[in-house]
Amino acid sequence: MAVYVVGDIQGCYKPLKKLLKQVNFTPKKDVLWCAGDMVNRGPDSLKVLRYLKSLGDACVCVLGNHDIQLLAYYAGGKSFAGDTLDEVVQAKDAQSLVDWLRFKPLLHHDKALGWSMVHAGLSPLWSLKKAKKRARKVEAILQADDWGVFCKALQNKGFPTQDPKDKHVRLFFDTAVFTRTRFCSDLGRFDWQQKTADVSDKHIQPWFEHKNAKWKKDGKKKIRVVFGHWAAKGLVAEHPYVLGLDTGCVWGGQLTLARIDQEKTPRLFTVGCR
Model pLDDT, residue 60? 98
Q: What is the CA angle 6-7-12, rounded to 5? A: 90
C-alpha closest to that of 30 among 259, 265, 266: 259
Model pLDDT, residue 174? 98
Contact present, 207 and 121 (Cβ < 8 Å): yes
C-alpha closest to that of 181 among 248, 234, 124: 124
Model pLDDT, residue 146? 95
Model pLDDT, residue 250? 94
Whole-prediction pTM: 0.96
Write out the CATH class of domain 3-181+215-272: alpha beta
Mean pLDDT by runs of 10 across the 274 residues of the chain is 96 97 96 98 97 97 98 96 96 98 97 94 97 98 96 90 94 97 96 89 90 86 93 95 96 96 88 89
